[in-house]
Amino acid sequence: MNSVALKLDGVTSGYRSAIVLMDLSLQVNKGEAVALLGKNGMGKSTLLKSIMGFLPKKAGTVYLHGEDITRMPPHRIARQGIAYAAQEHALFADLSIRDNLRLGLAGESLFQERFDAIEPLFPVFKSRLPQPAGTLSGGEQKMLLLARALMMRPSVIVLDEITEGLQPSVIERLANALLREREQHGTTMLIVEQNVPFALKVADRYLILKQGEVVDQGEARADGAVDSVFAHLRV
C-alpha cells in the first residue's frame, strides 16, 4: 500500500517560455493535509494547475497514489479521484445548483446520498437547488465549488484560495467542513491559501513557496507557526 498520495519530483513548469516552478519536489502523505502558502505571484496556483494537468510539465514527474500522471489530460487526472476547486470560478453558470453538484455522479440515488451528507454544511443550497449557479453570490459560488468537490468523495482534494471573499463565519464553517471530511473519510488535502489562520487550522503541515521553490516548512499546529509563516509573507 502506497503511503504517499501525491508526489512531485523535480517539476519544472510555467507558461510558454516563462518558467514559474523550478525543479520543485514535494509530497503529501495519504490522509495528510498540507497548506501551500506564499506571497502573491510565487507560483501556488501554477503548481496546482500543473498537478491537475492544465499546464504541461517541462521536466519532472507527478505521481498520484504511485501512478505517473505527468502527461495525463485533466479529465483523466480527475477520474483518478482528485478533486480541484480552482481559483477562477469553474462552475457552469447556466446550469442549476443541482446539476453542478450532480456532475460526475452516476445516478440520482448517489446524488441524494451524497447531497444528504454535505447538506448540513451548506444549508443555503437545499431550498435553491433549481437556481442557476451563475446567479449565486461570489461567496455562495465558492461554497458550491467546495460542495461539488466534496460530493465526489475524492481521495485527494486540491483547493485554490477557497476562502477568498468570504465572511469570517462562512470561513469558519468551511474549516469545520474540511476537518470533518478529513476525520470521516481520511481525505488527503493540498490547500493554497492567503488566509493563514484558516490554512493552519485545517492543515497538518505548511510549505512556503517563494519564486517557484519550497523555502520553508513546518508543523501547522506548532507553537510559533503563525509567526513563522507571517515572517515569510512580510519580506
Provide, rounded to whole angstroms, the least separation between the CB of residue 194 and ligand ATP. 6
Q: Round to whole Å and give the CA distance between 203 and 83.
A: 17
Provide, rounded to whole angstroms, the least separation between the CB of residue 85 and ligand ATP. 14
- Residue 173 dihedral angles phi and psi, to the nearest 5°: -65, -40
Reduce the secondary structure of 60-90 to three states and give it as a string: EEEEECCEECCCCCHHHHHHCCEEEECCCCC
Which residues face 15 on adjacent strands?
18
What is the per-residue burial (b if ≥16 Cβ within 10 Å, else e) of 64-100? Answer: bbeeebbebeeeebbeebbbbbbbebebeeeebbeeb
Nearer to ligand ATP, 55 or 152 (CB): 55
Provide, rounded to whole angstroms, the least separation between the CB of residue 80 and ligand ATP. 23
Nearer to ligand ATP, 12 or 131 (CB): 12
Nearer to ligand ATP, 40 or 169 (CB): 40
Q: Is 94 helix (H, G, I), strand (E, B) or coil?
A: coil
Provide, rounded to whole angstroms, the least separation between the CB of residue 39 and ligand ATP. 7
Asked whether 35 and 8 are in contact (CB, 8 A), the reply is no
Interface with ligand ATP (CB under 6 A): 15, 18, 20, 38, 40-46
Asked whether 15 and 55 are in contact (CB, 8 A), the reply is yes
Nearer to ligand ATP, 118 or 229 (CB): 229
Provide, rounded to whole angstroms, the least separation between the CB of residue 197 and ligand ATP. 16
Nearer to ligand ATP, 17 or 109 (CB): 17
Q: Round to whole Å and give the CA distance between 225 and 217.
A: 10
Q: Is 20 helix (H, G, I), strand (E, B) or coil?
A: strand
Nearer to ligand ATP, 131 or 194 (CB): 194
Provide, rounded to whole angstroms, the least separation between the CB of residue 216 and ligand ATP. 15
